[in-house]
Structures are given as C-alpha cells and as structure tokens.
Amino acid sequence: MKIVVADTNIYVSAFVSGGKSLELMSAARQKRISLLMTPEIMTEMGSVFHRSKFQKYFEQRGLTPDDIITGYQEVTTLVIAATIPSGVVRDKKDEIILAAAVGGKADYVVTGDKDLLTLEKYQDIAIITVHQLLEILNQENPKTTPP
C-alpha cells in the first residue's frame, strides 16, 4: 500500500469540484492508499475550509467544514511531523506538507502546488499530482472490463 500525504489544495479540490481529487479520497476509503495527516495539516484545513468562499460548495453537498474534517480524520493516520529546514520550499506554508511526509515515511506527496511540484522529490519522497498517483494505482490494480 502506498503511503501518501495530500496537500490541503487536494482536499479543497475534492470537495469543491470533485474529479480526480475526490477519486484520491475514495482510494483512501477503499484502503488502496494510506493517507497521512499531522495536527498542523488539520489546523490548516480547518482554517481553509471555514473560509466563506467555500461555504456554498459545502452547502450544495449538504456538508459543513466540520463534517469534512471529521470524514478526513476517519480515513487518515496521524503522524508526528519531522523538522524541515527553512528554505527548502519558496512558500513556508508548504513545509508542513513535507514535514508530514518525512515524519510519516511517505512514498508520495500529492499536490497541485507548483512550488512543491518543482521539487519533484524530497528525501526519496516523490512529489506528484493527483493524476500521476491515480495512474500509479491503476497500473498496480488495473480495472478489468467484463468480456
């Protein structure tokens, strides 16, 4: 099973527009991946999900930010963040994602953030898009079509 840390932008995308990001959440629910989190990521998610610009999307799905955070906690494993040296990424806020990945010995960081994606790898942890991870998962467990 692949061990993954997803950036906050992936969760926002999953619940705002669905698509590939929502498929990633389904992969976690189906235990195809092990999704990691830290208290720092939870704090960031709470802050982002409570922004008024996202409320209409949650209301359309009959959800609250707290519902989403609770659902996230149900499919993730809590890990202790490692210490990441300053300056590894341009945006200091991205350090919590790398810290979770290193602390949880992740295989992948999944993000849509160009600052993280330009790194491509950090301490043997591949930094990839949702689309790339789903391709990896589908190669390992291809969907079969009936004859």
pLDDT tens readout for residues 91-114: 888 999 999 999 999 999 999 999
pLDDT of amino acid 144: 46
pLDDT tens for each residue of 35-76: 999 999 999 999 998 999 988 888 888 888 888 888 888 889
pLDDT-derived band at 77, boundaries 50, 70, 90:
very high
What helix, strand, coil percent values describe the chain, rounded to 5? 50, 15, 35
Q: What does the pLDDT read at residue 15?
A: 82
Q: Tell me the pTM.
A: 0.89
In SS3 terms, 16-77 reads as HCCHHHHHHHHHHHCCCEEEEECHHHHHHHHHHHCCHHHHHHHHHCCCCHHHHHHHHHHCEE
Q: What is the pLDDT of residue 107?
A: 98
Domains of the chain: 2-140 (3.40.50.1010)
Residue for token digits 């669905």? 18
pLDDT per residue over 2-41, tens digit each?
999 999 999 888 888 888 999 998 999 999 999 999 999 9
HSE-up of 46 (CA within 13 Å, CB side)?
A: 10
